[in-house]
Amino acid sequence: MKKAIVLISLVALFGCTEEEIKDTLSGKTKVFAVESINVEGVTGLDDGTYAVTDSHFANILPDVFPNGTKSDLDNYGIGTHSSSCAKIDTTNPVCFEDGKSCTPTEMKQLNLKVYKIDITDIKSAYENAKFFPTLATELGIQGLNQVNIEAVACP
C-alpha cells in the first residue's frame, strides 16, 4: 500500500494524468512512435506532412528516434490494449537522447501513434520495436528532454 501511495505521489508531482496513474497501477503504460512529420524548408520536398518512412528523411532523422510500427510491436510479441494519436510540436527542436539526437529545425511537428501495452513489455518496446514510453517524456528519463505530447483525433 505504501508503494502505491508513493508511486501516485511521485507520478502526480510530475504532472501525469489520472488515467496514467490508473494505467500504471493496473500494469499498463503507453508508448509512442512517430508516424508522420510536418516539415518546412527541406531541400527537394514541398512543405507539408510526410510519412516517417519517406526516403527523404533517411539522412535527417536523429540517430535515436521513435519510429516503430504496430507490426514491430506484433513481431516482438507485444500486445496492445488500445491505440490513439498525438502530436509533438517541434518548432523548437526536441531531443531524444540527452541533447544529442535532436530533431532538425525543418521538422515542425511529429505526428504520433500511441499504444497502451503491458508495463512488462516496455523494455522490449523501447529496445526492439523503437517505441518510447510516454511517461519518459513527462519525467525527463531515458535521455528525453521534457516534451509536451498533445492528444489529437486520429485521421
58-84 confidence digits (pLDDT tens)? 788 888 889 999 999 999 999 999 999
Which of 49-58, 88-97, 142-151 is predicted with the least confidence, judged by mean pLDDT?
Answer: 142-151
Which of 4-8, 19-23, 69-73, 104-108 is predicted with the least confidence, judged by mean pLDDT?
Answer: 4-8
93-112 confidence digits (pLDDT tens)? 888 776 678 889 999 999 99
Which of 33-47, 55-69, 76-90 is predicted with the least confidence, judged by mean pLDDT?
Answer: 55-69
pLDDT of residue 154: 94
For 101, the grid coordinates are 539526437
Burial 78-114 (b: 16+ CB within 10 A, else e): bebeeeebbbbebeeebbbeeeebbbeebbbbbbbbb
Q: Say what the pTM is.
A: 0.83
Tell me the pLDDT band of 142, cut-offs 50, 70 and 90.
low
